[in-house]
Amino acid sequence: MALDDKYIFEYDHILRKVINECTLNPSEVSQEETPWLYASNEKYPYEEVNFEKVGKWMIFPPEEKIDSIWNKIKESIKDGSLWSCKVSTSNYAIMIYTKDYTDIDDVIKVLQYLESTGLKSNRVIHYKTDQQTRSGIYAGRGRRASIYSSNTIRTTRKPHEDGQGDFLSWRRRDESSNSNAYFDRK
């Protein structure tokens, strides 16, 4: 299914201009209309991204702050601090993507940016790979669905290794679904 451009904010760093404007706020759009709003730039050329290694920090801001946080994220996309993000129009979850979950320095750099700008609250946030999402790995019933946590990544500098169905075991699941709706539309 192709995404409608009216739900996508895109910025071109070479031309230094918005190439697709989306002024919609998450609180103004129903899930029936579209499940996600997107924001991205071409910080990394499409052909240079290994989508098997893409991952994301997940934040869950309160409803009353979602629109201002989303607009801050779009500004961060414009200035190149962030690469690609999306926000749910139902529960307002925001996914802040990084190019390569094995690039710990970049994953930490994005976390530090989220902290320094106030985009991350004082709560612990988690980092999950897109491969985990495509494989149907979600948190629940005492199970972790992330490979990094904001409170441990700087000290461990490696994925969780607690055997709770996360990094060590998610690769064994069915990995046949290799679709990423946003990136596949290009």
Q: Compute the CA torsion angle 107, 112, 117, 120 (nearest 10 deg).
A: 70
Q: Taking the domains of the chain in order of start, what are their residue ranges?
A: 5-136
Using alpha carbons only, give the angle 152, 157, 161 rounded to the nearest 5 degrees.
Answer: 70
What residue has token string 């290794």?
161
Rg (CA), the chain: 16
How many Cβ atoms sit within 10 Å of the Cβ of residue 11? 22
Predicted pLDDT at 167: 42
Whole-prediction pTM: 0.84
Do the beta carbons of residue 29 and residue 12 sit within 8 Å?
no
Give the residues across from 11 on adjacent strands.
Answer: 18, 41
Predicted pLDDT at 172: 33
What string of pLDDT tens digits covers the 186 residues of the chain? 568 999 999 999 989 999 999 999 999 999 999 999 999 999 998 899 999 999 999 999 999 999 999 999 999 999 999 999 999 999 999 999 999 999 999 999 999 999 999 999 999 999 999 999 998 888 877 777 899 999 999 998 778 765 443 443 333 333 333 444 444 444
Amino acid at 7: Y
Give the span between the Cα atoms of 68 and 181, in whole angstroms.
25
For domain 5-136, is the CATH number 3.30.760.10?
Answer: yes
Give the span between the Cα atoms of 7 and 132, in whole angstroms.
25
